[in-house]
């Protein structure tokens, strides 16, 4: 099923067709997006049950609705198909969306289809927003950058992987690729090769943003090098078997977040508004399964709380945001080995970006400053869904397997795949 991407500033409606009888009740579709309204023999059953006028209304409702989808598909050169149990993600103007929903609801009442209206995402207008997303070559950082781009933001995409240079861990994705996609979606992507563990790189990033815009509205600290070299020593080994180089990776990642934040915050101070988001994970008092990992993930949350305290009187919010089980490139590499178990809670990297866009657009965001937030909880509160229309819940550690052990198994599979 091809995805109908929301247009910036438009309105989206996600509709799941539980059971559709388009060919009998008013429309048929082809994969090229051309739609032809039809009247099938089953219309007689509707006439008999509801009378000719209501049967005609139901038939026309389905026909008009699917015709709208087909026209949108043709206009945007998107292939479309209409099948039971698929998602139809429709992006168009608000009036057309309202009519579409009314038509489909009527069709449902008339027996032409059974529907479920799913959480959608109407991107806020971030066309005047300047954002920096660190570690955005791939994974969660890339998803955040793309979601902000769909909302029209200018996004400085930072990372160490470039199109003309080396890629970390040999995984796909570069800052150039992400920046290009941000621009394609309606924002402005700016690729910046940056190792945030090097102070000079962070200083150069400040100079670049300052020269281009003289301000910064949103900073997302996503860069994390703590999973590198994971195949060399078990990620979940007890602390006495852990090498100090792994501790150093964790420490360097946290230090990098601190350094880039202290350098870029002066670009937020003059306008007395801004948002800092730290991407991390912890689950209350549950031990994550590895001492260094647990300490530095908890420290990341505490650092955001400290940022918030220092910035509260400046009108700048700082929060820690926890994704769920994200289907990143790393997870994709191991998906076959992991099986279908995680499918109910897994979500796309863009789900996290939609949460950040919602937070940034919330005029009451200062009330959340200093808090630890979860993507799944924010989706429910702000009413948005993932790119497939689902609304995965907040991720909680359950069972006896620690997060460190889960990461060890994941990293082991990724390493084996890269050696093939």
| Number of residues that this document lists for the chain | 420
Tens digit of pLDDT for each residue in 36-95?
333 444 555 656 666 666 666 666 665 555 555 555 544 544 443 333 333 343 334 445
Of residues 392 and 417, more confidence is placed in: 392
Give the per-residue pLDDT at 195: 94
How far is residue 186's CA from residue 125's CA, in Å, rounded to a whole number? 11
DSSP track, 97-141: HHHHHHHHHHHHHTTSEEEEEEPB------TT-EEEESS-SSHHH
Give the per-residue pLDDT at 279: 95
Mean pLDDT, the chain, integer: 75
CA-closest candidate to residue 346, choices 374, 327, 373? 327
Provide mean pLDDT across the span 296-319: 96
Of residues 82 and 146, more confidence is placed in: 146
Provide mean pLDDT across the span 118-131: 84
Tens digit of pLDDT for each residue in 344-358?
457 889 999 999 999
How far is residue 32's CA from residue 79's CA, in Å, rounded to a whole number? 5
Given a cut of 80, whether residue 299 has pLDDT beyond it is yes
Given a cut of 60, whether residue 20 has pLDDT beyond it is no
Give the per-residue pLDDT at 285: 77
Secondary structure class of 344 (helix, strand, coil): helix
Given a cut of 60, whether residue 323 has pLDDT beyond it is yes
Give the per-residue pLDDT at 80: 39
| pTM check: above 0.85 | no
Give the per-residue pLDDT at 410: 52
Give the per-residue pLDDT at 193: 96
Catalytic annotation on 287? no
CA-closest candidate to residue 69, choices 127, 105, 119, 27? 27
> Residue 388: which pLDDT band, with cuts at 50, 70 and 90?
confident
Of residues 213 and 53, more confidence is placed in: 213
What distance lies between CA 333 and its chain's CA centroid? 19
Provide mean pLDDT across the span 358-371: 96
Given a cut of 90, whether residue 331 has pLDDT beyond it is no
Exactly one of 82, 87, 227, 293 is catalytic; which is it?
A: 293
Q: Which of 8-22, 44-58, 125-139, 234-248 has the lowest mean pLDDT?
A: 8-22
Give the per-residue pLDDT at 231: 77
How far is residue 314's CA from residue 64's CA, in Å, rounded to a whole number? 52
Of residues 197 and 68, more confidence is placed in: 197
CA-closest candidate to residue 220, choices 135, 347, 294? 135
């Amino acid at each position: 099923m091809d995805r109908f991407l929301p247009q910036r500033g438009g309105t989206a409606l996600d509709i799941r067709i539980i059971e559709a009888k388009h060919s009998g009740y008013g429309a048929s579709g082809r994969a090229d997006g051309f739609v032809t309204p039809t009247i099938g023999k089953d219309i007689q059953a509707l006439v008999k049950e509801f009378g000719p006028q209501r049967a005609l209304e139901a038939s026309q409702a389905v026909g008009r609705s699917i015709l709208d989808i087909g026209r949108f598909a043709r206009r945007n050169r998107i292939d479309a198909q209409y099948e039971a149990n698929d998602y139809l993600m429709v992006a168009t103007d608000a009036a057309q969306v309202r009519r579409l929903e009314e038509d489909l609801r009527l069709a449902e009442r008339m027996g032409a289809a059974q529907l479920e209206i799913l959480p959608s995402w109407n991107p806020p207008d971030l066309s005047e927003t300047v954002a920096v997303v660190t570690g955005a070559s791939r994974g969660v950082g890339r998803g955040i950058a793309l979601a902000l781009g769909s909302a029209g933001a200018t996004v400085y995409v930072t990372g160490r992987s470039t199109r003309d240079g080396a890629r970390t861990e040999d995984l796909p994705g570069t800052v150039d690729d992400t920046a290009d996609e941000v621009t394609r979606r309606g924002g402005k992507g700016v690729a910046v090769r940056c190792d945030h563990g090097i102070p000079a790189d962070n200083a150069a990033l400040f100079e670049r943003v300052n020269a281009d815009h003289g301000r910064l509205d949103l900073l997302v600290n996503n860069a994390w090098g703590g999973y590198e070299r994971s195949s060399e020593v078990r990620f979940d080994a007890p602390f006495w078997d852990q090498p100090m180089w792994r501790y150093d990776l964790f420490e360097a990642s946290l230090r990098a977040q601190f350094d880039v934040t202290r350098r870029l915050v002066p670009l937020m101070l003059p306008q007395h508004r801004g948002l800092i988001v730290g991407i991390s994970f912890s689950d209350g008092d549950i031990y994550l399964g590895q001492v260094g990992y647990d300490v530095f993930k908890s420290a990341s949350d505490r650092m955001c709380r400290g940022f918030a305290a220092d910035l509260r009187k400046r009108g700048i919010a700082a929060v820690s945001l926890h994704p769920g089980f994200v289907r990143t490139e790393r997870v994709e590499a191991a998906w076959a080995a992991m099986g279908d178990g995680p499918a109910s809670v897994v979500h796309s990297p863009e789900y996290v970006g939609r949460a950040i866009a919602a937070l940034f657009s919330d005029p009451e965001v200062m009330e959340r400053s200093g808090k630890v937030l979860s993507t799944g909880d924010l989706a429910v509160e702000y009413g948005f869904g993932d790119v497939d229309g689902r609304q995965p819940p907040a991720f909680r550690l359950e069972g006896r397997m620690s997060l460190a052990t889960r990461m060890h198994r994941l990293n082991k599979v990724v390493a084996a795949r890269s050696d093939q």
